[in-house]
Structure 1
Amino acid sequence: MNSDTQNRRVFLKNAALGSLALSLSGTGGVGAIPTATGKRVGIIGLDTSHSTAFTKALNTDETTTAYSGYRVVAAYPYGSRDIETSTKRIAGYTDEIRKLNVAIVDSIDELLRQVDVVLLETNDGQLHREQAIQVLKTGKRVFIDKPMAASLTDVMAIFDASTTYRVPIFTASSLRYIKGVEGLDKRSVLGADTFSPAVLEKTHPDLFWYGIHGVEALYTVMGTGCQDVVRTHTDGTDLVVGRWADGRVGTFRGTRTGKHDYGGTVYTQNGNVTLGPYGGYEPLLKAIIHYFETGEVPVTPAETIEIFAFMEAADESKRRGGAAVRLDHILKKATR
């Protein structure tokens, strides 16, 4: 590893540990001269319902004003190739996307020649590092859907590339915009409990695949600064307790039985706030369009890095029978 790369990794680690915002100034699409300048959206990955949901919202004439005229014009289907629950959906979602006047292309390179910005929707986080860097090299802004990657090491590498190519990146679960968050004075938050499904997928660390939804909701209201994590695991449930450096406690409950639902409670100096119900994709999509327009990211790299360190610490706690695991130890391992 050369000294420049090492310096960038040290900087990212320190940002996460110190909860610092990393300021990145981005460029727009490089060399693109579309009919509506800068408004052509490309999708990578047609193995998730997010791809069709976003396309239907953007390509409906009645909503183009709400989304500043951005429209999906091209899509590359792959996408997962070895996760059965994802691969079996590609053909059907590809047909749906075609009906929305979207060109289906054979490669990411071909996609990037036709678009100005990218929605990286591939359901398989193992592919995100390679796919995201391919986009970043062109200078195009890219939203990376959950999970940002299938390891904390890959998350750090993507942010490293974001710094190298000077393109800010935005990644988030739609649960960041769950009802109850709007108008919340986060300075008054004393603690929080959140819950979401936490279905497991053998190719990803436990909480990365689906538990990330509830973990991100927790971080949305608590902010950064978690010091250590303890996890209790059963076949049907995970309970992860995080202890913040300022003494606050935040918990995430991940479920694998019963009805899938999302929500939580935020404890504030002025009373309790209920999170939920889930409000759909529209708030997230509006945030994505704002990012495409301005290059401003609503979630700092430091916060995203800590979210993934929290989930990896939870896995380590499970391996150690529920022992407390410090996030700074997890971050140090990821940057070696």
Structure 2
Amino acid sequence: MNVGIVGTESSHVDHVVRYFNAEHRAGDARVVAVAEATRDVGVSTVVDRADDLLGMVDAVIVADRDGRQHARQAIPFLRAGVPVFVDKPLAASVADAEAIVGAAQQSDTPVTSFSALRWHPRLRELTGQPTAVVTTGPVDPASSYAGVFFYGIHPVELALILAPGPVSDVHVRRVSGAIVATATVGRVAVCVQMVEKVVPFHVLLTTGTSVTAVELPLGPDYLHPGLDAFLDMVRTGKPPVSYEDLLRPVSFLAAVDTAL
């Protein structure tokens, strides 16, 4: 399998190239080319535009840090029948996220996107029917990579993994050094705390009988379970995350962005 990468600025690209090309964790699958490169990541074939990879690769990872670019970069591959993994966030607007999912559905070509924290092993400790979920993580609302979308996707997606169902109106408060967003999701009270400095990722789950808190430290191979899921999608054609669950975090963050 020949894999292409679009965008190289993110440190995630180093993990991807190590996974495929250095440690051969995906068998004979290799990253063979990159597009829209801003630095050398050890892949010899470099092309200018994302769609220059068409015909060269069997699957694509869109790794551009700016979610505002993702629809432009991903949709041509989906229309051409090439499976795509869009590194977080899927997009920086509901319209772009819906356009990506729509292209996947129209061409019957799978697409996925997720925070690497979705696969964190400590999430298995959170069991029982939740009544409330509180997640915490860093954010930079002034980020040049679409503001709250860049890091805010992590605590938002964590909350929505644990709280299935429709999202009510999102209420946003700006407090000293943090953005606090609350909503009712299905029957679960959700609170997402986005802190404007580097803090650990943290989840607090309340059920009718217990309260469980876990911190989610990132090890050196934290991206690898997600890459395993991406490869399984390419081989089976089945996305690991439902398209509804691709759209919910973008919609939540769009509400936060609008409120700010």
TM-score by length of 1: 0.71
Amino-acid identity (%): 26
- Match runs of 1:166-245 below 5 Å: 166-182=108-124, 184-185=126-127, 188-201=129-142, 206-234=147-175, 236-245=177-186
User: Kindly tell me: are residues 112 and 275 of structure 1, through their superposed partners in 2, closer, same or farther at Cα, counting changes over 3 Å?
Assistant: farther
Quote the offset at 1:231 in angstroms. Answer: 1.0
Give, in whole Å, the separation in 2 of the partners of 1:50 and 1:251. 28
In proportion to residue count, which structure has more strand?
2
Task: Report the equivalent of 2:194.
Answer: 254
| Count of aligned pairs between the two proteins | 257
Quote the offset at 1:277 in angstroms. Answer: 2.1
Quote the offset at 1:198 in angstroms. Answer: 0.8
Task: Report the equivalent of 1:34.
Answer: none
Q: Deviations over 1:56-75 (max 9, x none)?
A: 111124x43xx343221111
Q: Helix, strand or coil for the counterpart of 1:114?
A: coil
Quote the offset at 1:107 in angstroms. Answer: 3.0
Give, in whole Å, the separation in 2 of the partners of 1:153 and 1:104. 30
User: Kindly tell me: are residues 282 and 273 of structure 1, through their superposed partners in 2, closer, same or farther at Cα, counting changes over 3 Å?
Assistant: farther
Task: Report the equivalent of 1:104.
Answer: 46
Give, in whole Å, the separation in 2 of the partners of 1:270 and 1:114. 54
Q: Deviations over 1:229-250 (max 9, x none)?
A: 211113620111111342x201
Task: Report the equivalent of 1:124.
Answer: 66
Kindly name which structure, 1 or 2, has the bigger radius of gyration based on alpha carbons. Answer: 1
Which structure 2 residue ranges, 5 or more long, are not aligned?
A: none
Runs of 4 or more consecutive aligned structure 1 residues displaced over 6 Å after TM superposition: none
Task: Report the equivalent of 2:94.
Answer: 152
User: Kindly tell me: are residues 205 and 106 of structure 1, through their superposed partners in 2, closer, same or farther at Cα, counting changes over 3 Å?
Assistant: closer
Asked if structure 1 preserves the Cα contact closer than 8 Å seen for 2:92 and 2:254, the reply is no
Give, in whole Å, the separation in 1 of the partners of 2:27 and 2:238. 16
CA RMSD of aligned residues (A): 2.1
Give, in whole Å, the separation in 2 of the partners of 1:156 and 1:114. 27
TM-score by length of 2: 0.90
Q: Deviations over 1:122-162 (max 9, x none)?
A: 11112111111111121010000112112111111111111
| Matching of residue 71 in structure 1 with residue 12 in structure 2 | no
- Match runs of 1:1-336 below 5 Å: 39-61=1-23, 63-64=24-25, 67-78=26-37, 90-91=38-39, 94=40, 96-98=41-43, 102-182=44-124, 184-185=126-127, 188-201=129-142, 206-234=147-175, 236-246=177-187, 248-257=188-197, 259-279=198-218, 280-318=222-260
Asked if structure 1 preserves the Cα contact closer than 8 Å seen for 2:170 and 2:183, the reply is yes
